[in-house]
Amino acid sequence: MAGRRTPPHILTLVALSGVSALSMNVFLPSLPGMARDFGVEYGVMQLSVSAYIGASAVLQLLGGPISDRWGRRPVVLTSLAIFILATIGTLLAPNVGIFLIFRLIQAVIATCMLVPRAVVRDMYDGAQAASMIGYVTMGMAVVPMMAPVVGGILDEAYGWRANFAVMGILALLVGIVAWRDLGETVRDGGLSMRQQAQNYPILARSVRFWGYCLAATLSSGCFFAYLGGAPFVGEHVFGLSPAEVGYFFAAPSVGYLTGNFLSARFTARFGLNRMILIGTCVCLFFVASSLTVLLFGIVDPFIFFGAIAGMGLGNGLVMPNANAGMMSVRPELAGTASGLGGALAIAGGAVLSALAGALLQPGTGAMPLMIIMTVSAAGALLAILWVLRREAQLSRAK
C-alpha cells in the first residue's frame, strides 16, 4: 500500500493526537456520577484519571524507543487495536475494580500522542519542527476543548457509558485513517536497541534536554492538576451540573489553541527559548493571579476558569517549543526523546493530579488546587531560565 511508504498528511497526525487527548478528558464531567454509580468515594473514581496518567507515562517511556527501532506505523496501529478492545472492557465492567483495570489498559493510546511529534521531527528540523508541532497540537486542542462539553451532554442524556462508546467508535475511525495514510518516516529500518543505548548517555547528560523536559513537565503539570481537581471544584465549590462543568472545561483548550497558533506563527522568528520563556511567564501570571483573588475571599467560576484559559495560553506557547527542543538534542533518537519527555510530563502530571484529588475535600474550596498550580508554574519558569543560563555560559566559553 502507498500509505505504508509515504509520509502522512498533517490531519492524520492531528487525528491521532486528538483521539489520545479525547480519551483523557471526555468523561471528566461524569466523574462524580460514576463514583455514585459504582458506590465508591470520589477519590477512588479519580484514579481513572491519575492512574491512567501514570500508566500513560510508562507506556510513552517504552513506546518512544520501540518506535525508533521498529517504526512509527506499527506502534500506532497496534496501540489503537488494544485501545478499542480495552474500551469494550470498560463498557462491560461489572464493578469499579474491573473498570479501572480496563481503564489502565486504555492508556496504551498515549503512544498516539508521542508518535506524531516524532514523525514531525523525522520530517523537519529545529524551529520549523516546532512550528509544525504547533500546528499539530493546535488542531489537537480542538478535540479536548469540545470533548468535556460533549461528554457532559452525553452523560445527562445517556449516562457515563456513552462517553466510552464514543471513544471506541472514534478510535476505530482514526485507526482506519492511519492504516491508509500513516506512512513510515523512520529511515533505514530504525536504530537497534543497542545503538540507542549507546546514545542514551549523550541525551542524559544534556542540560538542554533536561531543562526542556522540566519546563514541559511543570508547565503541563498545571493542566494535569486542573484535570484532577476541577470536576470536584466545579460541583462542590461552584455548584455546577456535569454539562456546565463540561462547558467551563473548554477554558484551557481555548487558551491552548491560541498559544499553539502563536507558536506556529512566531517560533521561527523569535526562537524556541524565547517562546518558552514567554509561555512560562504567562502561565505563572494567570495562576498566581487566581490564587491571589482566592486569598481575598473572591470565589467566582468566571474568574477561576478565566485564569485557567490564561494558563492554557501559556502551555500552548511552551509545549510545542519544549518538545521540539528536547528532540533536537539527538535527532536520531526523536522517538526516545519524545517518549521520555512525554513520560516525565505525564508522570509529574499523575502525581499532581492525584495530589489535587487527595487535598480537595468538602470545605477546602479551590485553594489547594491553585497552590499546586502556582508552584508548578514557577518551577517551569525556573527550568527555562536554567537552560538560558547554561547556553549563555557556553556562548561565553566560545
Q: According to the model, what pLDDT value does residue 127 have?
A: 66
Note the pTM of the prediction, 2 decimals.
0.71
CA distance 387 to 385: 5
Handedness of CA 212, 122, 317, 136 (dihedral sign): negative
Q: Spell out, as residue ranges, where the chain has pLDDT lower than 50.
A: 1-3
The position carrying cell 476541577 is 230
Per DSSP, the residues of 194-234 read: HHHHHHHHHHHT-HHHHHHHHHHHHHHHHHHHHHHHHHHII
**133 closest CA partner among 146, 155, 150, 116:** 116
Q: According to the model, what pLDDT value does residue 3 have?
A: 47
Q: According to the model, what pLDDT value does residue 346 have?
A: 72
CA distance 266 to 130: 10
CB 262 within 8 A of CB 316: yes
Q: According to the model, what pLDDT value does residue 77 have?
A: 94
Q: According to the model, what pLDDT value does residue 100 have?
A: 93
CA distance 389 to 266: 23
Q: According to the model, what pLDDT value does residue 138 have?
A: 67
Q: Domains along the chain?
A: 7-184+193-397 (1.20.1250.20)
CA distance 196 to 193: 5
Query: CB count, 10 Å around CB of 84?
Result: 18
The position carrying cell 503512544 is 111
